[in-house]
Amino acid sequence: MKKFELLFYISVCVGIFINNSSYAIISGMFENVTGFWSLIALGIAGMLCIVIADAIACLAYKYPSAPGIRTYLKKAFPNRVSLFFVYLYIFFLLIAGAVESSVFGNIYRLIFPGADPVFIFSSMIFLIVVVNLYGLRLSRSVQFVTTVVMCFIILFLGIYGVANGPAGRSADFMDISNGLIYLQHLPAAVGIGFFLFVGFEWVTPLGFSKSSYEVKIPASMPIAIIIGTLVYGIFIIGASFTLPRTQIVNTNVYQLELAKQITFMDGRWIIVLLSSLCVISTFNAGIMGGARLLYALGRENKLPKVLTRISLRNGNPYVAIITLGVLVEALTIPVYYTGSELVFAVAASSLMCFIYIMLMISSMRILKGNIQSSGFTGYFSDSTKKVVIFLLAGVGMATLFSLPGKERYVLGLLCGLSALALGMCVYYGREKASVTGSIQDPVL
C-alpha cells in the first residue's frame, strides 16, 4: 500500500465529497442556473476550496499528528474555543453519515419498492464498521477500489450522456443568452456547489508517517478537488445534454433517468452499484478519520476514556469505531423517518463554512512571523485567504435560509448543536491529565 500512498489519500478526499447527496446538490444548482452556468459555479466553488485546502495543508505540514483539526485549532485558539469547533466537527461527521445513509435508503426504496430501507442502510453501516474493525489495511484497500470504480461510473454516465443525448439538447446547454439574469443567481449556485467538496480535509489524520505530511497529504487535497471538479463537470454536461432542466430539478433520482438512457444495460443496477459505492466510500473514510479523532480526544480526557481502547490484534481503536457506527445508525433512523435529509445537510454545511473559517484563521495566526526558508508554507497570500474567509461567512449565513419554509428548522438544529457543543465544552473543558504511555497509539 505504501507505493500507492498518494493515491490512497486522494481516494479518501474524493470518496468523501462524491456521495449520494451530491446529486441533490447538483439539482439545486440547476434550480438556480442552467447547465452552462452550473459549470461556472462549480469551477468557482472548486477554486475556493483549493484556497481552503492550501491553508489546511500548511497546518498539516507544521503539525503532522493524528488529531488533525483538534491540533490545528488548539494551537491558534484558547482550549474551550478549540473544543467547541471540534465538537461541532464531530457532529458534522455524524450528520454526514446519517444523511448519506438515509438518502441511500430512499434510493433503494424508489428502485425496489418492496425493499426495507432501514434494513438496507443498517446492513451497510454494519458492514463498514466490520471492515474497519478487521484492520486498517483492508479499509484502505476498500476505500481506494470503491472510489476509483465510483468515479469511472459517474464519468461513464456523463460521457455517454454527451455522446447520445437527444438532438438539440446540447444547444440548450450552450445557450448563454440571458446571462445577466443568471449572473444574479450565480452566487447562490456557487454557494450550493461549494458543498459538493466539503469534507476533503478528513484525510489529514490518516498520514502513514510524519514524512507523509511533507508532500503527499498537502498535494492530495487540491488534486482531489481538481478531480472532483472534472468528474462533477462531465456529469453535469452529460445530464444537461440528456435530460430537460426541469426534470433534473424535479426528479428525486434523476441520475436513474440518466442511466436509463443507456440502452444496452439496466439503468437500475448501475444506480444501485453507484449508490452502494458512494455510501461505502463516504462512510468508510469517515470511520477511518473520525475514529482516530475520537480516540485522540479520549486521550486528552475531552471525551470518555473508554474511546482510547484499542485492539491488541491490529491496533485499531475499536471502541471509537463501534461508537461512530452506533451513533450514525441512531441518527439515521429519525432523519429517514422524518424526511429531514436536506434540513440536516444544510445545517451541517453551514457549520462547515464556519469551521473552515476557523481553520484558515488558524493557518494565518500560526504561520504569521514563522515563515521558514524551507518546508511547505502554502501558495496563497493572507490577503487571498481573507477574501475567501469573507466569502465563506456570506455563504454560511445564506445557506441557513436556502430552504424556503424550513428556515426555522435549520436554525433550530444549528442552535441545538451549538448548545450541545457548548455544554460539552463546559464539562470537558477543564484541564485534566491526558492518558499516557500504557495505551499505544492506533495504527496509522
The string of pLDDT tens digits covering residues 357-376 is 999 999 888 877 555 545 56
DSSP H/E element including 86: helix 79-111
**Which pLDDT value is given to residue 3?**
66
Q: Is residue 424 part of a domain?
A: yes
Q: Which of 62-76, 181-195, 272-286, 424-438 has the lowest mean pLDDT?
A: 424-438
pLDDT band per the 50, 70, 90 thresholds, residue 442:
low
Could you tell me which residue, 137 or 146, shows the higher pLDDT?
Answer: 146
pLDDT digits (tens, 9 = 90+) for 216-240: 888 999 999 999 999 999 999 999 8
pLDDT, average across residues 325-354:
89
The stretch 383-407 carries a mean pLDDT of 84
Tell me whether residue 435 is in a domain. Answer: no
Number of alpha carbons in the 13 Å side-chain half-sphere of residue 189: 24
Mean pLDDT of 428-437: 59
Domain membership of residue 436 (yes or no) is no
**Position 63 in a domain:** yes
Determine the length of the chain.
444
**What is the number of domains present in the chain?**
1
Percent of the chain predicted with pLDDT > 90: 31
Note down the domain range covering 279: 2-369+378-428
Q: Residue 196 corresponds to which cell in the numbers above?
A: 459538493
365 occurs within a structural domain = yes
397 in any annotated domain: yes
The highest-confidence range among 14-23, 132-141, 215-224, 225-234, by mean pLDDT, is: 225-234
- What CATH number is associated with residue 330? 1.20.1740.10
Q: What is the mean pLDDT of residues 329-337?
A: 93
Would the CA dihedral through 113, 115, 116, 117 be positive or negative? negative
Evaluate whether residue 434 is within a structural domain.
no
Average pLDDT, the chain: 84
Q: Is residue 343 part of a domain?
A: yes
Q: What is the pLDDT of residues 247-258, one digit of tens each?
A: 888 876 788 888
